[in-house]
Structure 1
Amino acid sequence: MKFSSSLKFNAVPEWWDEYIAYDTLKKHIYQLEKQQAGLRDSYHDLEANERSSLMAGEDSSSTDAVFIPLLDRELRKICAFYEEKEKELLQDVASLERLVEQQEEAGPNARHEYLDVDDDDDDEEEEDDDDLPEQSPVATRDHTLSPSARRRRMRSVSSSKAPSGSRGKYDTIPRRRYSISSNEEHADLEASIASLRTPPHQDPADAGSESGRGEILSSPLTKAKQLASKLHIMTNSVTSSTGVPETVWTARNNYAWDVQLLFKRRITNLYVAVTALKSYVELNYSGFRKILKKYDKVTDSQLQARYMHEVVEQAPPFRRESKDRIQNAINTLVNLYTKCVTRGDFAAAQRQLKVHVREHIAWERDTVWRQMIGQARRGEAAEGLTVGGGSLVIEPEKATVNVRTRFGHVRVTLSQVYVLVAVAVFVVLLNVQVVEGVEANRCFAILVLATILWATEAIPLFVTSFLVPLLLVVLQVIRSADGTPLGPVEATQYVFSVMFSPTIMLLIGGFTIAAALSKTSIDRVLITRVLSLAGTRPSIVLLTFMAVACFASMWISNVAAPTLCFTLIQPILRTLPPKSTFAPCLILGIALAANIGGQSSPISSPQNLIAIGYMDEPLDWARWFAVALPVSATSILLIWALLLVSYHPTHTGDGEELEIKPIRPPREPFSFTQWWVSLVCLLTIALWCVAHAIQDIVGDMGVIAILPIVVFYSTGVLKKDDFEHYLWTVVFLAMGGIALGKGVMSSGLLNVMGGGITRVIQPLSPYSVVLALSFIVLIVSTFISHTIASVLLAPIAKEIGASLPGNQSDLLVFLTGLVCSCGMGMPVSGFPNQTAANQEDDMGQLYLTNVDFLKNGVPASIIATLVVATLGYLLMKLIGL
C-alpha cells in the first residue's frame, strides 16, 4: 500500500487536517523536478484549488531552499497540535487518577444508606448483566442516572459526535461514536458517580435537604431496608478470610458495579485517545521520512539524513522525553484498568484494552473510509445510460436489457445472452450428427461450447475450464487406445491425470521465480541499473525501455513486467514538455515489447507452456532460446524503427531536440537475500536448459520446477501468503485447455478434422501452410486471449503438421505458440495493451487512443508474425524440428 493511502487509512478522521500534507508535498516535489528539467509551467495545487509557481533551481541547494520551508511549515503545524493534545490528555490522566483515589476513599457502600424497595428489582436486572464488563465501553447503563446527569451525558455524547475540523471533501465523513478526547467526560464521570450516591427518588440538587431525607426515611418499609443496609455494611467491613478488605473495585453490590462500569468506560476512552496520539506521532515521523526519501530520489539531493536528524528528531513530538511521557500515560491507564476492572489481572487489562483499540479502529475504518469508497463506487455506477425509455441500461461493468414477457420485465445481461447462445448451440450439436463418430461428435459440441464461452468471457475463463472435464466424463467422450469408450471411473482417472501435467508444474515454478524476484526487488534493481545507462537521447531511451520490458517479461511474466515499467517511467513522463509525442510512443513501445517478451522463454506466458505440452518431444530451454531470442530481438528492433517513424519522438512540438532526464541507479548494494535468490534462479534456469541431458535423473522439466519452490519457501524468502497470491486462475485455465486437447485427440475428433485439413492443404507447399497458419493464429489471438488462442489452435496445428511430409507437428505447434504472443493490434489484445491503454497523465487524460493501436499495433503485429514465419522458421529447421 502506498504511504498516502496508508496515511488516510490509519489517521484519526477528526485530526485529518493536522497530519503531514503528504500528497501536497509530493506535488511540490514533482514541480521541482520539472523546474530542474527546464520546464517553467505553473503548478496547479488541486487540493487548494489554486495555481502557484515555485522558484526554478539549477541544483539541489536551490531546490532545498524551496522545499525546506514547506517541511518547516508542516512541522510547526504538527508540533502545535501535538503539544495541545498532549497537555490535554496528560491532564485527563492525572484527573482520572485523582477520581480513582477519591472513589477508593468513599468505599464500596456509599449508596447503601439510600436503598429502597426498587433495589430488589435492580438486583435482578444486575444478575442478567454479569457479562457487561466484557462489552464495549459504550454499553454503560443509564437507568441509574438522575435526569440532570442524563442531560449532561447526552450533551457530552453530542459534542463528541460533532466534527472537530475537516479537510474539504471530507466534511461529510461520519465521526467516531465518541470523541477521541473530551474534557467534559471527567465532569460527566463525577456527575454520574454523584447520581449513584443520590436517593433514587431525589434530585441531586436536593441531596442535602433534610426535609427530603426525612420524607424518605419516614416510611416504615424504608426504615427496615435501612436497617438491613447497615447490617450489610457492618458485614462488609469485616476483613475476609484472606485478610484483604473489600473495595469498590471488588464489591458485588449495585453501586460498586455501576462505578466499575463508569470507570471502565472512561479509562477505555482515554486509553484509545492516548494510543491515537502515539500513532499520530509515528505516522507523521514516517511521513517526513518517506517524503524526504522521495525528494532525494527525484531531485538527486541528500536532504533526508540531515533534516531528519537535525530538525524532525529535535521537534517536541519526536523527542525521547515526549515518547516517554506518552508511554507512561499508557502504563498508568493500564494500571488503573487493572485496579478498577480486572481486579489485579494486569495481563487481562492489557489484552482487553488492546481489543478495545482494535474494535475502535475497525469501526472507524468501516464507517469512514469504506463508506467513502462505497459512495465513490455508487457514484460511478450511477453514471449509466438509458436508451429508448428505459429498455436499455448501459452500466460501466455490464450492459443489461429489459425484456418484456408475459410474466413481467426480465433484466438480461449480455453475458447471460452469450451463455444462452452457447448452451443452445451445444444442445443442437449434441443432437445433430456433424462429424463422424458418436464420441467425436460429442467432443465437437464440447469444443464449440468452450470456444464460445472462452471467446466471449461470458463466465470466468477458469470456470469454463472446470466445465471441460465434467462434460468429457459425463458424456463419455474419452476412448481407450483401441477405440473403446471408457467408463466414468476410468475416464475420470485419465482426465485428472493429464490435467496436472509436468507443464502445469513448470508454470507454478515460473510463478515462484517471479514472486521471489519481485518480493526481493531484484527485478526493480536490475531494471533500474540498466535504464540508468540509457542516456538522454529519446531514441536510445525508447529502445532501452523496450528491451528491458521484453527481458522482464521473460522472467516475471508479461503481466507484471509492463506494470513495473510503467511505474519506472513516471519520472520521465512528468518532466516531458506538454503535448510531447514521446510519452505515447514510450508507453506503446513498452506494451508491444512486453507482448514480444511473452514468446521469449517457456515460462513467460501460458501459451508457451501449452505449446510445449502438445509437442511429441518437448523442447528444452536451450533450443527454445536458440529460436525465441533472435526472433524477439529482431521484432523489437523493427517495431522500434516503426515507432520512430510514426511518432518522431526525438523533437518537441517547437522543433527543438528533446532531452530525456536520466534515471538514477539505486544506491543500495545487493543484500545477501538478493544474491541467494539470484543464485537459485540462475541454477534452476541452467537445469532447464540442459533438461534433456539430465532427463535420466530428473525425468522432466516439471520436476526441476520444484527446486525453487522448496528452496524459497523452506528458507523463508517466500511465505504462505505469496503462494496463495499466485495466478491460480491461469493455472486452471491451462489445465482445462490440456484436458480439452486430450479429449479432442482421444475421442477421434482430431483424426476427423485432420482428414478435412489434409484435403485443404494438400495443394499447398509446406511453407505456404506455415504462412497461412501464422496469419490465422494472428487474427484469432488479436481478438481473444492469447492463452485461449493457443488452447484452441495448438491441437489443430499439431494435426496439420502431422499431415505434412516429414511430420512437422512439433514445428507448427512451436510456431503457433510464438505467433500467439504477436496478437497486439487492439487495446484488448493481451494484458500489456490493456495496461497501456489505461495510462493517464496528471490531468487525467489518456496517453493512448484506439488510433494509436490501429496505426502502430496492427503493423507491429504483422511485422512480428512475419519474423516468426521467416527467421523463426529457419531457426526451427536448424535445431532439428
Structure 2
Amino acid sequence: MKFSNSLKFNAVADWWDDYISYSALKKRIYELSQQQHEQLIKTSQDDPERAALIEADRTTTDDVFAALLDGELDKICAFYEAQEKELNKELEELVRQVERKEAEGLYPDAPFEDYEDSEDDEAYSDGMTSPTSTRRRSTSRRRPLGAGGELSSTKPDTPTVGQQQHSRRLSNADQEFDLEASLISLDVPPVSRAGGSMSRQQSRARAQGNSIEPVSAPRPKIPQALRIVTTDPNPPAQETIWTSKSNYAWDIRMLFKRKITTQYIAFTSLKSYVELNYSGFRKILKKYDKVIESQLKDRYLHGKVENAHPFTRATKKRINDTINNIVALYAKCITNDDITTAQKHLRIHQREQVVWERDTVWRQMIGQERRGEGNGDMKALQESTEESHVALPTPVGRFRITRRKMTLIAAIIVFIILLNTPTIEREETNRCFAILVFATILWATEAIPLFVTSMMIPMLVVCLRVIIVKDKRLNTKAATKFIFSVMFSPTIMLLIGGFTIASALSKTNIDRVIVTRVLSMSGTRPSVVLLAFMGVACFASMWISNVAAPTLCYTLIKPILRSLPPGSKFAPCLILGIALAANIGGQSSPISSPQNLIAIEAMKPRLDWAEWFTVAIPVSATSIFLIWLLLLASYRPGKTIDGQDLVLRPIRPTREPFTVKQYWVCFVCIVTIGLWCVEHAIEEYVGDMGVIAIIPIVAFFSTSVLKKADFDQFLWTVVFLAMGGIALGKAVSQSGLLETMDIVIRNLVGGLDLYEVVLSLSLIVLVVSTFISHTIASVLLVPIAAEVGKNLPGGHARLLIFITGLVCSTGMGMPVSGFPNQTAATQEDDMGQRYLSNMDFLKNGVPASIIATVVVSTVGYGLMKMIGL
C-alpha cells in the first residue's frame, strides 16, 4: 500500500489536519523537479558550461523544500505538546479519583459520591457484567456504541440534598439481558449494606445524616435465571472496592473501566500519531532525494526531526511508560492485578475503536472488494463502453438483454443445431465439432469470461462422450479420468513456475533495480530513450510476463511525462512503443506468454529453451528495431511543437544496494533458467521442464521470499484457460475430428511448397490474433498447424507450430489486442486525458504487426531451418 493511503486509513480522523501533508509535499517535489529541469534546459542553451554546475548545485532547491518541512514539523510539535499536556492532566485527575475511591473503601459516608463526570463517563459493560447489575429505566435512554463497542445510557437528573452537600447519584451497573431476542431491563432499588433493598427515602435520609431503620421494599418478580444475588452482609476483611462483588463495587469498577480505557486509547493514538508522522518525514525525504537526486534525507531527518520534541527518545520512552502505567491501573481496578488480562482487554477496546470510529471508509472498501465491487474506475469505464441494451418485460420482471447475452444465446442455439445435425458422419466427431464451434464463438466474443469457457470444455467432452481410445468410445467415468489426466500437464507446471519467478522478481524489487540501471545509460535524447525503454519492456516481458512489464515501465516514465512540454508527441510515442515492445517480448521466452507454452506442448519432441532462444531472441530484436524506426518516422518525438529540440530528464538508477534476499532470488532464477535450457541433456534425471519448475516454488515459498498471499495472486484464470485449451486439443485429436480436418486442409494447401504454407499460415494467425486473445488464437490454430505440418513432405509440424506460436504475439493492431495494448490505452495525463486514441493503434499498431509477422516468416523461418526444424 502507498504511504498516502496508509496515512489516510491509520490516522485519527479528528486529527487529520494536524498530520504531515504528505500528498501536498509530494506534489511540490514534482513541481520543484520540473522547475529544475526547465532551468537546466534554458541554461544549457545559453551557457553549456554552466549547465553542469546547475545540475550539481541543489542548495536552493533543498532550502525551499526544507522550509516546507520546517512548517510541517512546527505544526506537528505544537499539536503534540498541546495533546500531551491535556492528556496528562486528565490522567492525573483519573489517578486521584482512583486513590480517593480506594481510600473511601467499600462503605463511604455517602452512598453516591459526587464525581466530575459527564454523560460519557457512565458505567458500561463488555462481557464482564455482573449478574447483580441493574439498569434504572426512569430516565435512561439507549446510547450508541462507545469506544469499546459497549452500550451505555444517560444518567438520571441529580437531586440536590441539603444546603452545603451536593451529590450525584451514580447509576447502578448497566446490564442488558438478551432474552428471546428482546432487551429486558430490570428496575431494582439499590442494595443496602445489610443486604436488603434501600428505599429512596432511606438513601436521602442517610445522605443527610439521619438514622432510619432499614425498611424492606417490594422486589419485582424476576425470572429464576436472572435473579439477583446479594452480597454477604459481613464481607471478608480482605475485600476491596476492586474485588468486592457488591452492586456498588461493580458500579464503581465499570465507571473506572470506562475512564481508564478512554485514556489508554488516547495515549496509544498519540503514540501512533508520532510514528506515522515520523514515517511520513522519512518517506517524503526519500522521495525527494530520489526525484531531485539530492542527499537531504539523512541530514534533515537526524538533524531536525529526531531532535524535535515528539520524536526524541525521551518523549517516546515517556509515552511508553505512561501507557504501561495505564495498563497497571486497569489491572488494579478491573482484573485483580492481572497485567496480561488487562493488556488483552485494552487491546480489544483499541481495535474496536479503530474499526468503529476511525476506519469506516476502509471497512467499506474491504466490503466492496469482498463483494466484487472493487476497481470502480475500471467498472465505470466498462459500463460506459458497454453497448445499449433492451429490457423485455417478463412475468417475473424486466429482463435486460445486452450484446453479450444475445451472443451467448446465439452460441447456444448454434451448438444445439450442430449437435442435432449430422455435419460429420461419425457421432463422436460431429459432437466434438459442435463443442469446437461453441467454444470458439464464446472465446472470440467473450460472451462469458474466457476461463469459464475453458472450464466448461471438459464437462462437455465427458458428458457428450467424444473421447475415442483404440477405436473404443469411452464411457463417462473413463473419459473423466482421461481428460483430467491430460489437463494438468507439465506445461501447466511450467506456467506456474514462471508466475513464481515473476512474482519473486517483482516483490524483491529486482526488476526495478535492473531496469533503472539499464535506463540510466540511455542519456537524454528522445530517440535513444525510446529505444532503451522498448528494449527494457521486451526484456522484462520475457521474465515477468507481458502484463506486469508494461505496468512497471509506465511507472518509471511518469517523471519524464510530467516534465514534457504541452502537446509533446514523445508521450504517446513512448507509451505506444512500450506496449508494442511488450507484445514482442511475449514471444521471446517459453514462459513469457501462455501461447508459447501451448506451442511447446504440441511439439513432438519438445523444443528446449536453448533452441527457442536461438530463434526468438534475434526475431524479437529485429522486430523491436524496425518498430522503433516506424515510431520515429510516425511521431518525430525529438521535436517540440515550436520546432525546438526536446531534451529529457535523465533516468537515475536506484542507490539501494542488493540485499541477501535479492541475491538469493537471482541465484535461484539463474539456476532454474539454466536447467530449462539444458533440459534435454538432463532429461534422464528430471523427466520434464515441469519438474524443474518446482525448484523456484519450493525455494521462494520455503524461505519466505513469497507468502501465501502471493500464491493466491497468481494469474489462475490464465492457468485454467490453458488447461481448457489442452483439453479441447486432446478432444479434437481423440474424437477423429483432427483426421477429418486433415482431409480438408490437405485439399486447401495441396500443391503449395513449405514456404508458401508458412506465409499463408502466418497471415491467418495474424488476422485471428488481432481480434481475439493471443492465447485463444494459439489454442485454436496450433492443432491446425500441427496437422498441416505433419502432412507436408518431410514432416514440418514443429516448424509450423513454432511459427504459429511466435506470430500469435504479433497481433497488436487494436487497443484490445493483448494485455499491453489494453494497459497502454488506459494511460492518462494529470488532467485525465488519455495519451493514445484508436487512431494511434491503427496508424502504428497495424504496420507494426505486419512488420513483426514478416520478420517471423523470414528471419525466424531461416533460423528454424538452421536448427533443423
TM-score by length of 2: 0.86
1:242 corresponds in structure 2 to none
1:685 corresponds in structure 2 to 673
Q: Which amino acid in 2 is paired with 1:598?
A: G
Equivalent residues in 2 for 1:384-395 (5 A)? Answer: none
Distance in 1 (CA, whole Å) between partners of 2:133 and 2:383 is: 52
Question: How many Å apart are 1:321 and its aligned residue?
Answer: 1.6
2:859 corresponds to 1:860: no
Distance in 2 (CA, whole Å) between partners of 1:69 and 1:696 is: 68
Sequence identity percentage: 60
Find the partner of 2:93 among 92, 95, 106: 95
2:443 corresponds to 1:445: no
Alignment deviations for residues 515-563 of structure 1 (CA, whole Å, 9 cap, x no partner): 2211221111111100000011110110000000000100111111111
Distance in 2 (CA, whole Å) between partners of 1:223 and 1:522 is: 79
Kept after mapping to 2: 8 A contact 1:35/1:57: no
Distance in 1 (CA, whole Å) between partners of 2:254 and 2:132 is: 6
CA 394–730 in structure 1, closer or farther in 2 if over 3 Å, else same: closer
2:508 corresponds to 1:520: yes
Equivalent residues in 2 for 1:168-187 (5 A)? Answer: none
Question: How many Å apart are 1:262 and its aligned residue?
Answer: 1.9
Kept after mapping to 2: 8 A contact 1:539/1:650: yes
2:463 corresponds in structure 1 to 474
Find the partner of 2:415 among 426, 432, 436: 426
Kept after mapping to 1: 8 A contact 2:149/2:352: no
Kept after mapping to 1: 8 A contact 2:199/2:217: no
2:127 corresponds to 1:132: yes
**Which structure 2 residue ranges, 5 or more long, are not aligned?**
42-53, 113-122, 151-165, 174-187, 192-196, 221-227
Question: How many Å apart are 1:394 and its aligned residue?
Answer: 5.9
CA 266–459 in structure 1, closer or farther in 2 if over 3 Å, else same: farther
Q: Which amino acid in 1 is paired with 2:441?
A: I
Q: Which amino acid in 1 is paired with 2:62?
A: D
Which region of structure 1 is more displaced relative to structure 2, 257-266 or 555-564? 257-266
Distance in 1 (CA, whole Å) between partners of 2:246 and 2:553 is: 69
Find the partner of 1:717 among 677, 682, 705: 705
1:790 corresponds in structure 2 to 778
Kept after mapping to 1: 8 A contact 2:611/2:867: yes
Q: Which amino acid in 2 is paired with 1:457?
A: E
Find the partner of 1:656 among 644, 647, 657: 644
SS class of match (1:132): coil
Distance in 1 (CA, whole Å) between partners of 2:445 and 2:722 is: 17
2:60 corresponds to 1:75: no
2:733 corresponds to 1:745: yes
Question: How many Å apart are 1:672 and its aligned residue?
Answer: 2.2
SS class of match (2:400): strand
Find the partner of 2:425 among 432, 436, 445: 436
Question: How many Å apart are 1:807 and its aligned residue?
Answer: 1.6
2:585 corresponds in structure 1 to 597
Equivalent residues in 2 for 1:228-377 (5 A)? Answer: 235-236=234-235, 238-239=236-237, 245-364=238-357, 367-371=360-364
Equivalent residues in 2 for 1:726-875 (5 A)? Answer: 726-875=714-863
Distance in 2 (CA, whole Å) between partners of 1:524 and 1:536 is: 20
CA 823–268 in structure 1, closer or farther in 2 if over 3 Å, else same: same
SS class of match (1:410): strand
1:107 corresponds in structure 2 to 105
Kept after mapping to 2: 8 A contact 1:146/1:204: no
Kept after mapping to 1: 8 A contact 2:198/2:215: no
Distance in 2 (CA, whole Å) between partners of 1:440 and 1:263 is: 81
Which region of structure 1 is more displaced relative to structure 2, 518-527 or 258-267? 258-267
CA 340–788 in structure 1, closer or farther in 2 if over 3 Å, else same: same
2:84 corresponds in structure 1 to 86
1:61 corresponds in structure 2 to 59
Question: How many Å apart are 1:604 and its aligned residue?
Answer: 0.3
Question: How many Å apart are 1:476 and its aligned residue?
Answer: 0.8
Q: Which amino acid in 1 is paired with 2:58?
A: S
Question: How many Å apart are 1:602 and its aligned residue?
Answer: 0.2
1:169 corresponds in structure 2 to none
Q: Which amino acid in 2 is paired with 1:235?
A: N
Distance in 2 (CA, whole Å) between partners of 1:360 and 1:397 is: 42
Distance in 2 (CA, whole Å) between partners of 1:729 and 1:505 is: 14
Q: Which amino acid in 2 is paired with 1:653?
A: I
Distance in 2 (CA, whole Å) between partners of 1:146 and 1:313 is: 56
Kept after mapping to 2: 8 A contact 1:557/1:605: yes
2:75 corresponds to 1:37: no
CA 410–140 in structure 1, closer or farther in 2 if over 3 Å, else same: farther
Question: How many Å apart are 1:764 and its aligned residue?
Answer: 2.8
Kept after mapping to 1: 8 A contact 2:198/2:217: no
SS class of match (1:757): helix
Corresponding residue pairs, total: 803
Distance in 2 (CA, whole Å) between partners of 1:348 and 1:665 is: 51
SS class of match (2:567): coil
Alignment deviations for residues 206-255 of structure 1 (CA, whole Å, 9 cap, x no partner): 99965996999578435999xxx9x967511x33xxxxx11122221222
Q: Which amino acid in 1 is paired with 2:334?
A: V
Question: How many Å apart are 1:738 and its aligned residue?
Answer: 0.4
Kept after mapping to 2: 8 A contact 1:557/1:598: yes
Distance in 1 (CA, whole Å) between partners of 2:316 and 2:535 is: 51
Kept after mapping to 1: 8 A contact 2:282/2:301: yes
SS class of match (2:835): coil
Question: How many Å apart are 1:62 and its aligned residue?
Answer: 1.0
Alignment deviations for residues 655-679 of structure 1 (CA, whole Å, 9 cap, x no partner): 1111111111122222222222212
Question: How many Å apart are 1:829 and its aligned residue?
Answer: 0.9
SS class of match (2:254): helix
Q: Which amino acid in 1 is paired with 2:579?
A: A
1:10 corresponds in structure 2 to 10
Distance in 1 (CA, whole Å) between partners of 2:278 and 2:137 is: 44
Once superposed, what is the RMSD of the aligned Cα atoms? 3.6
Q: Which amino acid in 1 is paired with 2:698?
A: V
Distance in 1 (CA, whole Å) between partners of 2:618 and 2:380 is: 49
Q: Which amino acid in 2 is paired with 1:585?
A: C
Distance in 1 (CA, whole Å) between partners of 2:384 and 2:624 is: 39
2:539 corresponds to 1:551: yes
1:697 corresponds in structure 2 to 685
2:559 corresponds to 1:566: no
Distance in 1 (CA, whole Å) between partners of 2:738 and 2:218 is: 103
Find the partner of 1:458 among 420, 423, 447: 447
Q: Which amino acid in 2 is paired with 1:342?
A: T
SS class of match (2:398): strand
Which region of structure 1 is more displaced relative to structure 2, 427-436 or 858-867? 427-436
SS class of match (2:473): coil
Kept after mapping to 1: 8 A contact 2:598/2:778: yes
Kept after mapping to 1: 8 A contact 2:550/2:820: yes
Distance in 1 (CA, whole Å) between partners of 2:700 and 2:383 is: 47
CA 223–551 in structure 1, closer or farther in 2 if over 3 Å, else same: closer
Kept after mapping to 2: 8 A contact 1:39/1:577: no
CA 865–39 in structure 1, closer or farther in 2 if over 3 Å, else same: farther
Kept after mapping to 2: 8 A contact 1:193/1:259: no
**Which structure 1 residue ranges, 5 or more long, are not aligned?**
42-55, 115-125, 162-175, 179-189, 240-244, 386-392
Find the partner of 2:635 among 638, 641, 647: 647
CA 110–495 in structure 1, closer or farther in 2 if over 3 Å, else same: farther
Distance in 2 (CA, whole Å) between partners of 1:832 and 1:603 is: 16
Distance in 2 (CA, whole Å) between partners of 1:440 and 1:30 is: 64
Kept after mapping to 1: 8 A contact 2:451/2:721: yes
